[in-house]
Amino acid sequence: MSNLIKSSVEIEEMAVGGRLLAIFLEKLSKEAKIGVTTEKLNLFTEELFKEANVKSNFKNYGGFPAALCASVNEVVVHQPPSSYALKEGDILTLDLGFIRHGFHTDAAITIPIGKISPLAQNLLLVTKESLRKGIQAAFPGNHLGDIGYEIQRHVEKQGLTIVRDLCGHGIGRDLHEFPNVLNRGSSGEGMILRAGMVFCIEPMVSLGSPEIVLGQDKLSYLTADRSLSAHFEHMIVIEENGPRILSKL
């Protein structure tokens, strides 16, 4: 297990990687248009990584074949890129990570393709806001459960559903480190948060069922009732005065 508390040097190294990841996600979101295949987006990702001299941490991880997870509509996470051409009304999750100077990065956004339905638009807004509320709870002295509690409370207050069985995680020299960061929970429960901890907080929200099923590709996870889902993820560090987002511009 890697160190739970990162040094200031390690954190700043991860911050450089996080900003670069945010730039990549912004560039990818501009390329994701009606008629573009998700495989083309993956090739663009590969080009970005090559230019920046960073290595994909998703490719070949658990058998995943690509640098980009490009999950469409009812697919929550881990959909491999394919010949699927994006259509008006789709929602697309771009989940991305790489290794730079021995440290991992990981973040995700869900974006609209063309004009999307009001229900889909609300799903994106609620999921993104739940991430913000979860991050706000990541203060030294709070508990790990406070993060999940704030995410769950916001999502359910808006009449939507937290996807079960998927969660965030610690990150550093490994992609998935201790602890698991749940998107639901009870305030005041779990590990006490301390300065120097680096987490990926990543609410995944459904319009319908909280349950997921494994896709035919044996890699992607879909909502059990095939309802739309959204996913937003930031890499954060807990500092003495509160959380700092590492994966933003």
Cα–Cα distances in Å, from 214 out to 69, 75, 180, 205? 15, 10, 20, 17
> 195: which residues sit within 8 A by CB, 6+ positions away?
5, 140, 238, 239, 240
Residue type (1 letter), 193: L
> 130: which residues sit within 8 A by CB, 6+ positions away?
150, 151, 154, 155, 183, 203, 205, 232
pLDDT band of 36, cuts 50, 70, 90: very high
Q: Would you state the pLDDT for residue 2? A: 58
Best CA proximity match to 86, nearest among 45, 116, 48, 122: 116
Calculate mean pLDDT across residues 90-109: 98
Map out the domains of the chain as residue ranges: 8-245
pLDDT at 58 over 80: yes
pLDDT at 154 over 70: yes
Rounded CA-CA distance 75/213 in Å is: 10
- Assigned superfamily of 8-245: Creatinase/methionine aminopeptidase superfamily (3.90.230.10)
Share the mean pLDDT of the chain.
97
pTM (predicted TM-score):
0.97
**Residue pair 130/163 in contact by the 8 Å Cβ criterion:** no
Calculate mean pLDDT across residues 72-83: 98
pLDDT in tens, 168-192: 999 999 999 999 999 999 999 999 9
Calculate mean pLDDT across residues 208-227: 98
Calculate mean pLDDT across residues 42-69: 97
**Residue pair 176/202 in contact by the 8 Å Cβ criterion:** no
- DSSP state letters, the chain: ---SBPPHHHHHHHHHHHHHHHHHHHHHHHH--TT-BHHHHHHHHHHHHHHHT-EESSTTGGG--SSEEEEETTEEE-PPP-SPBP-TT-EEEEEE-EEETTEE--EEEEEE-SS--HHHHHHHHHHHHHHHHHHHT--TTSBHHHHHHHHHHHHHHTT-EEPTT--EEE-SSSSSEEEEE-SS--TT-SSBP-TTBEEEE--EEESS-S-EEE-TTSS-EEETT---EEE-BEEEEEETTEEEESS--
Q: Would you state the pLDDT for residue 3? A: 87
Calculate mean pLDDT across residues 225-240: 98
Q: Would you state the pLDDT for residue 1? A: 41
